[in-house]
Amino acid sequence: MENASPLVITISRQLGSGGGYIGQQLAKRLDIFYADREIISLAAQHFSMLEKDLASRDEKKLSFWQSFIRTHAAAPDAYVKPQTLPPSDHELFKAESGIILRIARERPAVIIGRCGAHVLRSHPNCVSIFLHADRAFRIDRVMKLYNTTEEAAGKIIDRSDKERALYHRAVTGQEWADARRHHLSLATDKIGVDRCVECILSYLILRG
């Protein structure tokens, strides 16, 4: 009996492992919706924020001072205009989760990041992928992506890994890079990003 629920592929990835490219290629090959910036856009509308402001929070915890200001904004001597207050980690997670769940109900899709594997853990036709690669491979891709130096790329990667791990732990209580949470974990530097696309497509056929 065929599964009536739309196929949804979630991709959790280390920065520089090629997750965005692989997700786009999968969506193209399968002719399904690619959900990345759209999630930020819809969440920004929900919070009446500029998309660029919310994008800076992508899978990152609020800093200590952001959290402090938000918590104490109602105090008379620490007034901050309501529209300047960023959503809390859990408010952002709840809003993005609602968007992801709606997409998964309505159409087949590839969903990038934003704890998608956790959000859709009960979805009957979800395939969760984790993409990782060694540091040299990631640095090379980030250098090209951001047109930056090797040293700067390394710092960007370290910051991204730390922020994603902290955010995922805060909102899901689980470890971001735990491969056991996913159906398929691929080392993109060993296989190659294009072969990873083929590998995932083959897996979809094998799982039936």
Q: How many angstroms separate the CA atoms of 99 and 21, rounded?
A: 22
CB 12 within 8 A of CB 111: no
Backbone phi, then psi, for 157, in 5-degree steps?
A: -65, -45
Q: What percent of the chain lies above the pLDDT cut of 70?
A: 85
What is the structure's pLDDT at 71?
A: 42
**Residue 3 domain-assigned (yes or no):** no
> What's the CATH code of the domain at 179?
3.40.50.300
Whether 12 has a pLDDT exceeding 80, the answer reads yes
What is the structure's pLDDT at 84?
A: 54
What is the structure's pLDDT at 79?
A: 41
The residue among 9, 5, 6 whose CA lies nearest residue 112 is 9
Max mean pLDDT among 44-58, 72-86, 118-132 falls in: 118-132
**Residue 66 domain-assigned (yes or no):** yes
Mean pLDDT of 172-191: 95
What is the structure's pLDDT at 44?
A: 82
**Residue 69 domain-assigned (yes or no):** yes
**Residue 173 domain-assigned (yes or no):** yes
Q: How many angstroms separate the CA atoms of 37 and 92, rounded?
A: 15
User: CA separation (Å) from 55 to 129, 165, 177?
Assistant: 22, 17, 22
Whether 183 has a pLDDT exceeding 80, the answer reads yes
**Residue 2 domain-assigned (yes or no):** no
Domain extent at residue 18? 8-207
Bigger pLDDT: 68 or 45? 45
pTM, to two decimals: 0.84
Angle between helices 193-207 and 19-30 (to 10 degrees): 50
Beta bridge partners of 11: 112, 129
Whether 25 has a pLDDT exceeding 70, the answer reads yes
What is the structure's pLDDT at 20?
A: 95
Mean pLDDT, the chain, rounded, equals 86
What is the structure's pLDDT at 208?
A: 76
The side-by-side arrangement of strands in the sheet containing 8-13 is: 33-35, 109-112, 8-13, 126-132, 184-187
**Residue 1 domain-assigned (yes or no):** no
What is the structure's pLDDT at 61?
A: 63
Mean pLDDT of 2-21: 91
| Beta strand spans in the chain (E) | 8-13, 33-35, 109-112, 126-132, 184-187
Q: Each residue of 52-84: pLDDT tens digit?
A: 777 776 766 654 334 433 343 444 444 444 445
Backbone phi, then psi, for 33, in 5-degree steps?
A: -70, 140
Among the ranges given (39-48, 109-118, 129-138, 139-148), the one the predictor scored with the smallest mean pLDDT: 39-48
What is the structure's pLDDT at 33?
A: 96
Count of residues in the chain: 208
Q: How many angstroms separate the CA atoms of 139 and 126, rounded?
A: 30
The structural domain count of the chain equals 1
What is the structure's pLDDT at 41?
A: 85
**Residue 98 domain-assigned (yes or no):** yes
Mean pLDDT of 111-138: 96
